[in-house]
A = this chain, B = another copy of it.
Amino acid sequence: MELLQSRMVEKLPRYEQVRYAIQQRLIAQTWGIDEAIPNEQELADEYQVSVGTIRKAIDLLVADGLLVKQQGKGTFVRYPDFASSLIRFFRHRDTSGQPLIPVGIVHQVQEIPTGDARINEALQRPSTAPLIYIERTRNLQQRIFVSEKIWLPKEAFQALLTIPLAEFDNLLYPMYRRVCSQLIVSAKEQLSFLAQHQDAYLSTQQPETMVKICRYAYGLDGRVLEYRESYGRAAEFYYETVIH
């Protein structure tokens, strides 16, 4: 397998090999978030290729959202902000139409020692592997507009169990990195509707149609680090996209 892999790598263009090598260094956290990586000439010398080849490799990593380039300053490790998450498409605007920034509140963190088959399948783990379960809401001026259920592999995230609910950050992914050294770099989201659904946190008088968003969040190595189900009122959802 090792040999097969190296044979495969040998057949790839050099810019793909370099891209792979740099990505491995990102996984190993050789450079920190928002830190400049070596400049193009240094990388060219190091990998024994021309600057143009380095540029092509870096452009691919930029397109993947792992790096950002800034003219005159350098190339930096990117901090993913998930600006295109479907969650952002609930209509939370103030009276002047400005988007408002929601507050994330953690209501519950608990261990599930014997796991859950459905969740562990989503996380690509054995069906009885232990989990951590979090209930969280996103609020806007005291009003809950999104209810979230989050599951994490216990081994990598058990440091979260020692943290009081009130000390959870507004943003979870930076916290995963700081507390558990787990970096989320991309995610897949699936949207569907639930007729007549009722959620404990979304104070509906009666069941109504809800949007359900399932998110699989991935680390740099492609493994699923978090599975999340978010619920919100369908009437408040609005999504826009461009197609070609």
Residues of A at the B interface (CB closer than 8 Å) are 64-65, 80, 82-86, 185-193, 195, 208-209, 211, 234-235, 237-244
Our pick among B82, B190, B237, B242 for the contact of A192 (Cβ within 8 Å) is B237
Q: Which residues in B have their C-beta under 8 angstroms from that of A65?
A: 244
Q: Tell me the bound Cα distance from A244 to B234 in angstroms.
A: 24
Q: Do B209 and A241 touch across chains, with their CB atoms under 8 A apart?
A: no
Q: Do A193 and B237 touch across chains, with their CB atoms under 8 A apart?
A: yes
Among residues of B, the one whose C-beta sits closest to the C-beta of A214 is B240
Question: Given A193-B209, A195-B209, A209-B195, A188–B238 Cβ distance below 8 Å?
Answer: no
Interface of A is mostly: strand
Q: Tell me the bound Cα distance from A195 to B193 in angstroms.
A: 12
Q: Which residues in B have their C-beta under 8 angstroms from that of A85?
A: 243
**26 A-B pairs (CB sep. < 8 Å):** A64-B244, A80-B244, A83-B243, A84-B241, A84-B244, A86-B239, A185-B244, A186-B244, A187-B243, A188-B240, A188-B241, A188-B242, A188-B243, A189-B240, A189-B242, A189-B243, A190-B239, A191-B237, A191-B240, A193-B193, A193-B209, A193-B211, A195-B208, A195-B234, A209-B234, A234-B234
Q: Which residues in B have their C-beta under 8 angstroms from that of A84?
A: 241, 243-244
Q: Besides A193-B193, A234-B234, 5 other CB < 8 A contacts?
A: A83-B243, A86-B239, A186-B242, A189-B242, A209-B209
